[in-house]
Amino acid sequence: MIRLLAILKKEFIQMRRDRATLALMTIMPLIQLLIFGFAINTDVKHLSAVVFDQSLSKESRQFIDSLTATGYYDINYVVTGFKEVEDRIQKGDAKVGVVIPPDYASQLKHGRPTQIQIIVDATDSTSASSAISTAQLVGQRKSQEILIQKLQKSGASSANSNNPPIDVRIRPWYNPDFITAFFMVPGISGTILTLTMILLTSLAIVRERERGTLEQLIVTPLKPYELMIGKLLPYVLVGYVQLTILLGTGVLVFQIPIEGSLLLLYLLTGLFITASLGLGLFISNVAKNQMQGMLMSFAILLPSIILSGFMFPRESMPKLFYYLGTILPLTFYLQIVRGILLKGLTISYLWGQIGALALFTAVILTLSVLKFKKRLE
């Protein structure tokens, strides 16, 4: 018993000496709990919507106001052509398109049924389901209001509810059968890539230091940036091998469609892999030992999975966590991989995501080189 107590005392003393690791072990669970608790929300509200109102009447404005009043639709774009609706949805600026016909008001006034198109980005079935059910409910309510008004004017006791005045026509794009795997599998591919890339490189410099081989590298004529590049390149190849395996499995097993250019996907994946490797190298330069490197990696990986929109729509997150997700490379890569595979997007639609990844890569690699230089000095 005394020997056991001596060992316990020794372990607690070592833990107290490594204050950085102790802080990570105690603070990280609290941060993870707060992120998971606030960010996970399957009730998706405030979906960005684009409206093409060809009627421009009081009745059409009332229908749009009814959609907004539900809290599920945010009318962020009002356009004057169907092509603009298509562009907004393809870019991801809007999740829903509302198209009101030019004869909407006149049809209602003459007692004839009219149609409203609700175009939904169905790549994410959760967001799409919320948009569809809300639009259908609003259409039913507006139809009931019109029928009640008609009854009051005519004095009749009942009306034909089988032919509602407003017919909400749903047009799901990109994933019309609402197959969950189409949304999840590309996301899993990006998550696995960032997981393996960060974990592999987050221990690279630390491992060299603990083995005593870092000093041998330092005395060579290698410059810091050359050493960083040398550390990165083998893992870039590993990342491409992983991507090929994941894509092949997704297509053969889950029948994931490939609507866009595979060459473009591979080129942009190289940028994402470099960004993830750079983040791992920065962790490796900051961490004092492999335990710290592992804990720091998980401190970044777990929030990335939640805040990037891999499992839960980012639109349902509180604003703070939504904006935190915009600093993660995985967020932009998921938009790229889903956009190319499911929507067939070309590079002209992806410049925003490419710029964000390029900026992140440049910043994190520069910080890694500077941190490594400081260690050498």
Q: Which of 339, 342, 367 is nearest to 353 (CA)?
A: 339
Tell me whether residue 16 is in a domain: no
Q: How many CA atoms lie within 13 A of 11 on its CB side?
A: 6
Residue 104 included in any domain: yes
**Residue 269 and residue 271: Cα distance in Å, rounded?**
5
Q: Within this chain, do residues 96 and 212 fall inside the same structural domain, yes or no? A: no
pLDDT for 256: 93
- Run of H or E including 97: strand 96-100
Q: Tell me, yes or no, whether 311 and 280 share the same domain.
A: yes
Query: Which domain-ending residue is among 136, 155, 173?
Result: 173
User: How much is the pLDDT for 161?
Assistant: 56
Same domain flag for 285 and 140: no
**198 and 137 co-located in one domain:** no
In this structure, are 124 and 218 located in the same domain? no
The answer to whether position 41 is within a domain reads no
Residue for token digits 């590993």? 238
Q: Which of 142, 173, 204 is the last residue of a domain?
A: 173
Residue 3 lies in a domain: no
The answer to whether residues 188 and 93 belong to one domain is no
How many domains does the chain contain in total? 2
Residues 346, 208 share a domain: yes
Is 326 found in the same domain as 185?
A: yes
User: Which tens digit of pLDDT belongs to each residue from 336-351?
Assistant: 999 999 999 999 999 9
User: Which tens digit of pLDDT belongs to each residue from 87-121?
Assistant: 999 988 999 999 999 999 898 888 888 999 999 99
Q: Please choose, from the candidates 60, 290, 57, 89, the residue with its C-alpha nearest in 3D space to the C-alpha of residue 171.
A: 89
Residue 190 and residue 88 in one domain: no
Q: Which residue has the higher pLDDT, 317 or 151?
A: 317
Distance CA 225, CA 220 (A): 13
Tokens representing residue 303 in the block: 């929030």
pLDDT in tens, 63-96: 999 999 999 999 999 999 999 999 999 988 999 9
Q: Taking the model in full, what pTM does it have?
A: 0.85
Residues 293 and 317 in one domain: yes
Render pLDDT for 225-272 as a digit per residue (tens, 0 to 9).
777 777 788 889 999 999 999 999 999 999 999 999 999 999 999 999
Q: Are 307 and 328 in contact (CB under 8 A)?
A: yes
CA dist 113 → 25, 54, 157, 296 (Å): 63, 17, 20, 60
Instruction: Assess if residue 15 is contained within a domain.
Output: no
pLDDT digits (tens, 9 = 90+) for 246-257: 999 999 999 999
Which residue in this structure is represented by tokens 């994190």? 364
Same-domain check for residues 130 and 273: no
On whether residue 35 sits in a domain, the answer given is no
**Could you tell me which residue, 220 or 345, shows the higher pLDDT?**
345
Structural domain boundaries, residue 154: 47-173
pLDDT at residue 313, rounded to an integer: 80
Assess if residue 224 is contained within a domain. Answer: yes
Same domain for 161 and 183, yes or no, is no
